[in-house]
Chains A and B, each alone.
Chain A
C-alpha cells in the first residue's frame, strides 16, 4: 500500500514569505507527527495529532508555526514569515496508534533564502 506522502519534496522560498507543507498519512493511521531535522542534527519534535484529541503543540518553536489536520487524515504545516533558521527537512510520520511504530514520509526540504 501507499506510504506517507509529503509534498512538495523541495521548497525554496524568500525570507518573510509564508509556506505550507502537506502530509498525507497512511490510510487508517490515527496518529500523525511533524518533526524538523536540520543538517547533521537529530529529530526535533514539532506537533502530534492523535485521533480527535487536541493536538500536542509543545514542540512548535514559535507562533509563526501552526498545523492542522483535517478530517483525521491530511495535515498541513504552515510557517508564516519564514526566517533563514527555518531551513531544514520537515518530516511527517504516522502510526496506527501510540504504541505502534511510526512510518515516515520522504520529507520536505525547505530552504529560506
Chain B
C-alpha cells in the first residue's frame, strides 16, 4: 500500500456543485494533513491544513479528517472554473514526524 493514495482523476464536476476529493494514508500516527492546489505550470500552493479529527472550514473549502479510518477529504462548495487544478494531499511520513510526503494528486475539472 502506498503511504498516501489519491484517485488521479480527472474528476469532472459541474460549476456550482460540490467537488469532493479524497486521500487515504497508511500511518496511523500521522498528525498533520495538508491540501495543496497546483495549477498547470505553477508550483503547489497550500490551501488547507488540518490537525484534529472533524471538519475545518475556510471559505468555500472544508477539510475533513477521520483518523480512525485514515482518510482526509477536501470539499469545495460552489465550484468555480478557477478551481480546475490538481489537488495534492500531503502529510508527514510517519509518527516520528520525518519528511512530508505527497500523494500523486487528483486532477479536478469544473465544467461550465
Q: Would A101 and B34 be within 8 Å (CB), given that A43-B88, A48-B99 are in contact?
A: yes
**B46 near A98: Cβ-Cβ < 8 Å:** no
**A102 near B43: Cβ-Cβ < 8 Å:** no
Q: Is A107 an interface residue (CB 8 A)?
A: yes
Please give the distance in Å from A16's CB to the nearest CB on chain B: 28
Set of chain A residues within 8 Å of B80, measured between Cβ atoms: none
Of A43, A45, A103, most B-chain CB atoms within 10 Å = A43
Set of chain B residues within 8 Å of A106, measured between Cβ atoms: 42-43
- Please report the C-alpha to C-alpha distance between residue A15 and residue B99 in the assembled complex, in whole angstroms: 32
**A43 near B44: Cβ-Cβ < 8 Å:** yes
Q: Is A105 an interface residue (CB 8 A)?
A: yes
**A99 near B31: Cβ-Cβ < 8 Å:** yes
**B46 near A102: Cβ-Cβ < 8 Å:** yes
* Candidates A42, A99, A103, A107; contact of B92 at CB < 8 Å: A99
- Please report the C-alpha to C-alpha distance between residue A45 and residue B99 in the assembled complex, in whole angstroms: 10
Which single residue of chain B is at the shortest CB-CB distance from A43?
Answer: B102
Residues 16-55 of chain A, each 1 if its beta carbon lies under 8 Å from chain B, else 0: 0000000000000001010100000011010010100000
Q: Is A82 an interface residue (CB 8 A)?
A: no
**A42 near B31: Cβ-Cβ < 8 Å:** no
Please give the distance in Å from A22's CB to the nearest CB on chain B: 16
**A91 near B43: Cβ-Cβ < 8 Å:** yes
Set of chain B residues within 8 Å of A35, measured between Cβ atoms: 102
**A33 near B99: Cβ-Cβ < 8 Å:** yes
* Candidates A31, A42, A98; contact of B102 at CB < 8 Å: A42
Q: Is B104 an interface residue (CB 8 A)?
A: yes
Set of chain A residues within 8 Å of B90, measured between Cβ atoms: 101-102
* Candidates B31, B34, B98, B105; contact of A56 at CB < 8 Å: B98
**A107 near B100: Cβ-Cβ < 8 Å:** no
Residues 78-112 of chain B, each 1 if its beta carbon lies under 8 Å from chain A, else 0: 00000000001010100001111111110000000
* Candidates A43, A98, A105; contact of B98 at CB < 8 Å: A98
Chain B contact residues, CB within 8 Å of chain A = 31-32, 34, 42-46, 49, 88, 90, 92, 97-105
23 contacts between A and B (CB under 8 A): A31-B99, A33-B99, A33-B100, A48-B99, A56-B98, A56-B99, A91-B43, A98-B92, A98-B97, A98-B99, A98-B100, A99-B31, A99-B32, A99-B92, A102-B44, A102-B46, A102-B90, A103-B46, A104-B43, A105-B43, A106-B42, A106-B43, A107-B43
